[in-house]
Amino acid sequence: MANAHCIASGMGGMRTAGDLVGRMEMSRGMKLKEAKEYVANKLKVSVLDLVDPVVMNELRDDLDIGMVSTSLFPGSAKAIEAKFRIAELLDIEINCVNRFRDKIVGH
């Protein structure tokens, strides 16, 4: 069922910019249109580009904000590394990034 919804209606998560738009809805309570426009503006692409996996795969590589096929891109930012870069790119607070920073740097 998850597959069916994803293919029918979903942005596609890390295949595109779905996780980034999702963060804006969750963290700032932005409605979808506003969240898409915010992310498109930050990424300097059109709103339609946000759901294009061809455009977004290249852009995610350029911005180093996490890719699906990590084995094809050794050395690329993964997981917590990518989240540090996403927080900076979108100008948002990410809770686990702040926690990680506190753990490394100290209180």
Partner 1 sequence: MEKVYTRMGDGSLVELSEGDLRRDLEEGTGDAAERGEIPALSKDELAYLFDIYSIPYRFVSVEMGNEVILSYDAATLKIRRVGVLTHRVQSLQIYEKLLGADTVEFDHVDYSFKPVKPIISYEQADVEQALLMTTIPVFYGAMPNLGSYTQPDGPCINPMELLPQGKIAEARVAQEEMIEHAVKDMVYVASAMYESGVDGINFDTTGAAGDADFLATLRAVEILKKKYPQMGIEVGMAGEFVLGMHGELTYDGVRLAGLYPHKQVELAMKAGATIFGPAVNTKTDKSCPWNVARAVTFAKACGENSPIPVHANMGMGVGGTPVIDQPPVDAVSRASKAMVEIARLDGL
Instruction: Measure the CA–CA gap between 43 and 50, rounded to whole angstroms.
Output: 9
CB of 41 to partner 1, least distance (A): 17
Indicate which single residue of 39, 99, 104, 105 sits in contact with partner 1 (rule: CB under 8 A): 99
Contact between 37 and partner 1 per CB under 8 A? no
Distances (CA, A) of 93 to 71, 81, 86: 28, 14, 9
Q: Which is nearer to partner 1, 26 or 58 (CB)?
A: 26
Q: Which residue, 58 or 98, has its beta carbon nearer to partner 1?
A: 98
- The rounded distance, in Å, linking the Cα atoms of 42 and 4 is 30
At 65, list the tokens.
Answer: 């904000």
Closest CA to 37 of 18, 50, 53: 50
Would you count residue 30 as binding partner 1 (CB under 8 A)? yes
Cα within 13 Å of Cα(9), Cβ side: 4
Q: Would you count residue 86 as binding partner 1 (CB under 8 A)?
A: yes
Q: Which residues in this chain contact partner 1 in the complex, by CB under 8 A?
A: 1-15, 18-19, 21-23, 25-32, 35, 47-48, 51, 65-66, 68, 78-80, 82-83, 86, 93-96, 99-100
